[in-house]
Structure 1
Amino acid sequence: MATWRELVTFIKQSYKVTREEPEEIRIRLRFRKDDEEPERTQLVVIAREVLDKREEWVQIATPFARIDEVDVRAVLEEIGHTTVVGGCVVMGDYLVLRHSLPLINLDINEFTDPLELVTGAAETLEEEFTGRDDY
């Protein structure tokens, strides 16, 4: 996979798309720890980014809390101890876990593994720090 169009085609075939724009596609992933737990979901924004006006990258971003509703230092400490892929950023009023990958020569596992790791970590952070399933 080497182009944005090819990645979008893969995403549309593999995931439930909730919104699509020329440079961005949104999906919703579902999580269930066991049959007795209610299903939880996580919104994921996958966007095409161009670095230095020449290199195409894909960014995976998923919000998990409003910054005014959590102890940001505690969130960052938790991410530092438990998260392997992705970093936390502030986007507007939200804390977002995100990860970026170069599109050129991107293998499918180089996309799906970080997608699942970032989204799963954000879901866990959301549950731990907000106790809700808003995103």
Structure 2
Amino acid sequence: MTSWIDVINYVRTRHEVLEETDSWLRFRLDAEDGRTQQVAVHHVPESDGVAWVEISSAVGRADAIDLRRLLELAGTAAVGGAAVVDGVALLKHTVPLEDLSVREEFERPLMLLVAAADAFEHELTETDRF
């Protein structure tokens, strides 16, 4: 059985953690062309007896981008959905923690989500803020 500590340790050994609390951590990944992308991973409390892990990556300030275009782009992504949290437009993907294969069910969606968020940020803002 996979625990939240297992996810934290997996991230810590592979990426530089920028911020961390008991229930989430934020880190940065390298993207294409020298760009970087910030990622947050949250431990979502049990719902229906199952704990979840949410992966999210910012695309831009919601009030500064074309949200309709973001929704169109998100519709083409293999993983993740668009959301606005605290004024920030992002892509997020949630997976159940129980019996999580960190390599297949965490790392693969993480990399797909980060690549999409970075591409969307580049198209919608022409910057590398997040």
Q: Which runs of 4+ in 1 moved over 2 A?
A: 51-54
2:83 aligned residue: 89
1:101 aligned residue: 95
Q: Identity rate of aligned residues, in percent? A: 33
Report the alpha carbon displacement of residue 51 of structure 1 after superposing the two structures with TM: 3.3
1:31 and 2:28 correspond: no
Structure 2: runs of 5 or more not aligned: none
Give the whole-Å Cα distance in 1 for the aligned partners of 2:20 and 2:63. 29
Report the alpha carbon displacement of residue 53 of structure 1 after superposing the two structures with TM: 6.6
Structure 1: runs of 5 or more not aligned: none
- More off after superposition, 120-129 vs 50-59: 50-59
The one-letter code sitting in structure 2 at the alignment partner of 1:124 is A
Deviations 1:10-31 (A, max 9, x none): 1111111111111111110011
Taking structure 1 as the reference length, what is the TM-score of the superposition?
Answer: 0.90
1:128 aligned residue: 123
Q: How many residues align?
A: 129
1:52 and 2:55 correspond: no
Give the whole-Å Cα distance in 2 for the aligned partners of 1:97 and 1:51. 22
Give the whole-Å Cα distance in 1 for the aligned partners of 2:22 and 2:88. 24
Give the whole-Å Cα distance in 2 for the aligned partners of 1:7 and 1:71. 33
Taking structure 2 as the reference length, what is the TM-score of the superposition?
Answer: 0.93
1:111 aligns with one of 106, 109, 112: 106
